[in-house]
Structure 1
């Protein structure tokens, strides 16, 4: 099966920020608002060719043209109270915010079976899908910071988050017998996801002439409730987690310091990963979400050395990262259809070394670079015995900045990311170069910038998936070589 997709996208959007502050005594009340609206349209034309492996005889060819429009609207509101004190290290803040997003998407798909061109006379199938998704997020948060007589500092706070994602999806096919579109209840559905996250944290930090440290602990209670309308299936979860953290810094001398840090974190799946509805742009290679995803639990340990010299610095970090419930995309083949969906794997771990260097070669020339090398091990045997993988990867970034005559500045940014393993297969290497040129005016109050992204047009996303039953390779190239011009003026 060989497939090629050509896509074009257009977007028109408007953003509006508004707000105000009211001061009385040592108190500040602020309001922040944000409104956005956008319209997207895209055309995806998929060409598919299926042939016998041994003989290369043509079995099937078709074209799917997906004409998609999407309207997005959203509004954010936040009310903020701040209390200031004579001591600038002491603060109190209370925030109440609400966010609403509405996305309405229409997909009209024309199918041209037994054809290699999307010509009207070859049209012999039509599909249609409507997606109406609403997202609500409300947050109440309180933070308090106060210094102690000993020179230490305490930070504490509470935060409650309430989220609701309501996605209504209707899919239909055109029936020749009725000459009308007929809904398919096996695919159409409504998915409602709700959760509440209540958290509290406490941080204690202190310092001396040679030693700085920070101890923290955050506790969370999470309640999750999901509902899948076409099956009537509900899923409720509630759990408590504790997240400790430690950061230390010891100054060996004026130039050298060592640091040690540990943290346990949580990374929750995004709304679109939880959404079970399929993307039907390609009927044989379908992307869909997974409403049963669990959050990742991450343990991070880092030990580093920092050396600071007159015109340069070098930071070396050794790191280890262990993830329980690693979120990764896996591809499964069912009845000749490839389904790509996120899944929780057993574990993943990585360990490696990182170097970060900064130096002023000349008063007008600065170099900033980093290199990271690490080994990854992924265990997805809970999904399938072949979803176990390991490998070595590295990436680097190099930035050259030049201060030129007549208030010009020039910057070259080079990036390289090596091939990296996934649960099944790997992503191939990426590399690209960006150039930025800026001219300052009126004693740096104004500036005109020009940026050329991906100068050599090399950035793309490619890789392969490999299991016991199939092999899949993919390549995607966006229009990444882009010239951007911007200006600013500060009053």
Structure 2
């Protein structure tokens, strides 16, 4: 028996009674009623104002009696039988119009064309309100409303994340949360090709596209268990204001970083059609210095140079929402993007003997061309039930495809000493598809008690065909030791249930998630396979207590997993620098982490302060280990023992005056490593800390200035040490044209101090690696038309 059927019959019966009453009331009220008609237009442009509110109000109580919204052409028709009343017309961004009703003729009053003037002050307030970034603490996550942070203007999602408390992003784009890189990054709550390790797609999401960032250090069982240090969920904006809205933006920068973007949206009562188009070109230079020293022979290989990744990109997004009713919506969207890569690079190599004398010098040049098509499509249905605002069901089906067709030519030319002449070609044909099916159901039984349940199925299929050819006797010959087809498949099925109680002072949320993982790798040329299938339970528990309006306490626990990803497993990689090779390990096992935390939230005058302590215990932790032979460094991930980490975190926001806001984020943790690989022990204890200071200043004439300072301490790794880094990002913005236009200037790494150095010192070898990306300066202008807000399309690609 269908459990919904009785409720449906009841609802239909109630609706029939309501309709009968309405028609009956209308029939009895025809006598003495008045019909008002008219058309609402914009005084400046003469264009009709769609979806403006026309209200009939009672003169004595000033309360609304009835009302309608204008149609697409600005017209309306409204009937009332009220006595003393007035007419009020309103729409966001316009001054209200109040009319006294003229005498009707035959029960009809034609108000004609009513003009509305834009309210400059209200428009400005709307813009400013959208700029305020604030932290919202929920039972199991922190929500950071990105707004229009200046240091994020003209930047990518990676720069936005770098400004979020608890989060750090390295020069190479590696994301860490509270000092740990075991992070699961989601887009709109779902896994995405954009967040995978093997491409730079996350850097193609522009700051203006992001509505908010959710940091979930101890996710509840509702979320995918992936990510030992937690989850970062990037929520993308979607314009839904009624009528026709859009924006155009033009950006330029140094190094070359140029783009043009258009965003369009049209919303009616039933449909919301949205689209984005963008094209541009950008360069990503990277200066490198690498030194490999064999302590047994005393010989050294030194390589210096500048690597480039130049990209021309095109992007098109089209989607629509269909509203079956105000509480039921179906969304269908698609995205196509194409990147055309060019990687011209030149690296100078030098070989030194044990006395420091040069025995050979040569130059290695690279010519790489690649085409990277990306597709993404999603079907989503959401139903909100009428009995409670949080009672809903959500189903989504998401498909992602990423491809890379790349060819590279390497030429080694001897400059002095021993001959190093050589030619190599590489070919890569990479294809990845990810399908995610998700169903979530939330049912509140009261204002304090609710349950959640659902399921998720993720299918990931990858093929990487990689070939290396060496020039031998005038012909290119395949290097069988470096050539293979690597196939990777991983399917994860998860089901969960949670229950929560949230009272005025105390709340608790507990849940359990069951996940089955089926993963397999296959090296086609050699026939090597590694198949694993495992099932795990992932409990979670969160609680909070509100001592007063100014003091609250939260605590949480969750069990997490980090599954080895494609580039952890794939043993074949690019040989750009053939003395420093990065490989994968098909035999890796997953990491498991138990995570605990307690956080106090304090409101002290104009200051909000959040102080937390946390503990993470991880088994089978994955570390990249350097294997050194003949001055060639090969890094390979291995499962090495356990990691026991304790940490303290402090976030605070202070506004001493209206025009100045300061945000401070400090994170300190200490950890103890224990493990071994073959005959080598990796037992040690170390510490690391990071801090950020963001200052935002509001100046007259609509000018805002913001600066973000970052410091990350040096810290010990299993074989060496990563250096300390301090750098500053700076931005300035000028609003104009009643807030619809924005000029912005942003500078990344203002003092060119964001330099990463990695030093490894072992008994038989030493390694030094220095990486520096140039200072980035970007300038842009954007203009929003219609009644939507301004959007900036930065010098990067949209995905």
If the length of structure 1 is used for normalisation, what is the TM-score?
Answer: 0.94
Any conservation in 2 of the 1:347–1:379 contact (CA below 8 Å)?
yes
CA distance in 2, matches of 1:459, 1:51: 29
Aligned-pair distance for 1:380? 4.1
1:17 paired with 2:317, answer yes
Distance in 1 between the 2:533 and 2:487 partners? 17
**Pair 1:396 & 2:396 matched:** no
Show CA shifts across 1:263-283 (max 9, x none): 111222332232210321122
Counterpart pick for 2:534 among 231, 239, 245:
239
**How does 1:269-308 map onto structure 2 within 5 Å?**
269-308=564-603
Name the SS of the counterpart of 1:457 in structure 2. Answer: coil
Map of 2:524 onto structure 1: 229
Deviation at 1:22, TM superposition (A): 2.0
Shift of 1:435: 1.0
Change (3 A) 1:426 1:123: closer
Query: Hey, what does 2:504 align to over in structure 1?
Result: 209
TM-superposed CA distance for 1:261, in Å, is 1.0
Match of 2:552 in 1: 257
Structure 2 residue 380 is matched with structure 1 residue 80: yes
**Is the contact between residue 312 and residue 360 of structure 1 (CA under 8 Å) also seen in structure 2?**
yes
User: Where in structure 2 are there 5+ consecutive unaligned residues?
Assistant: 1-299, 789-799
2:392 matched to 1:95?
A: no
Q: Distance in 2 between matches of 1:406 and 1:150?
A: 46
> Where is the strand percentage greater, Structure 1 or Structure 2?
1
User: Per-residue displacement from partner, 1:137-167 (whole Å, max 9, x unpaired)?
Assistant: 1111101111013621111110001111100
Superposed displacement of residue 38, structure 1? 0.3
Post-superposition CA distance 1:211-241 (Å, at most 9, x none): 1221122110000111011220111100011
Instruction: Find the aligned partners of 1:38 and 1:290 in 2 and give their Cα distance.
Output: 29
Structure 2 counterpart of 1:112: 413
Q: Distance in 2 between matches of 1:462 and 1:18?
A: 43
1:348 aligns to 2:643 (yes or no): yes
**Structure 1 residue 124 corresponds to structure 2 residue 421:** yes
SS in 2 for 1:474: strand
Quick check: 1:393–1:418 contact (8 Å CA) kept in 2?
yes
What SS is found at the alignment partner of 1:395?
strand
2:463 to 155, 166, 173: 166
Larger Rg: 2
1:430: how far off? 0.8
Q: Distance in 1 between matches of 2:349 and 2:457?
A: 49
4+ residue runs of structure 1 moved beyond 4 angstroms? none
Displacement of 1:112 in angstroms is 1.8
Aligned length: 484
TM (norm. structure 2) is 0.59
CA deviation after TM superposition for structure 1 residue 398, in Å: 0.3
Relative to structure 1, the CA distance from residue 321 to residue 65 in structure 2 (aligned partners, 3 Å threshold; closer, same or farther) is same
Match of 2:480 in 1: 185
Other structure's SS at 1:273 match: helix
Provide Cα deviations, 1:166-197, integer angstroms capped at 9, x if missing partner. Answer: 00011111112xx2211122211000001110
Q: Give the stretch that moved more between structures: 443-452 or 246-255.
A: 443-452
Q: Which residue matches 2:444?
A: 147
**SS of match in other structure, 1:485:** strand
| 2:351 paired residue number | 50
- In the alignment, is residue 39 of structure 1 matched against residue 351 of structure 2? no
Q: Does the CA-based 8 Å contact 1:255-1:309 persist in structure 2?
A: yes
Change (3 A) 1:206 1:383: farther
Alignment of 1:310-325 (within 5 A): 310-325=605-620
1:367-417 superposed Cα distances (whole Å, 9 cap, x missing partner): 110111111223341365243333121110001111111111111110000
SS of match in other structure, 1:146 = strand
Judged with a 3 Å threshold, the aligned counterparts in structure 2 of structure 1 residues 334 and 123 are, in CA distance, closer, same or farther, namely closer
Cα deviation, residue 329, structure 1: 1.9
3-state SS of the aligned residue for 2:701? coil
Which residue of 466, 475, 479 maps to 2:774? 479
Structure 2 CA distance for aligned equivalents of residues 210 and 436 of structure 1? 41
SS at match of 1:115: strand
Helix, strand or coil for the counterpart of 2:343?
A: strand
CA contact (8 A) 1:456 1:481 kept: no
How far 1:207 sits from its partner (Å)? 1.4
Report the Cα distance in structure 2 between the residues aligned to 1:280 and 1:159, rounded to whole angstroms.
38
Asked whether the 8 Å contact 1:330–1:342 carries over to 2, the reply is yes
Which of these residues, 358, 364, 371, is aligned with residue 71 of structure 1? 371
- CA positional deviation for 1:116: 8.1
Asked if the contact 1:389–1:424 (Cα under 8 Å) also holds between the matched residues in 2, the reply is: no
1:376·1:421 contact (CA, 8 Å) conserved in 2?
Answer: no
SS of the equivalent of 1:477 reads strand
Question: Where does residue 181 of structure 2 map in the other structure?
Answer: none
What per-residue deviation string (whole Å, max 9, x for no partner) do you get for residues 2-25 of structure 1?
Answer: 221222221111121111122224
Q: 1:62 aligns to what? A: 362
Q: Which has the higher helix share?
A: 2
Identify which of structures 1 and 2 has the higher relative contact order when contacts are C-alpha pairs closer than 8 Å and 6+ apart. 2
Alpha-carbon RMSD: 1.9
Which deviates the most, 383-392 or 62-71?
Answer: 383-392
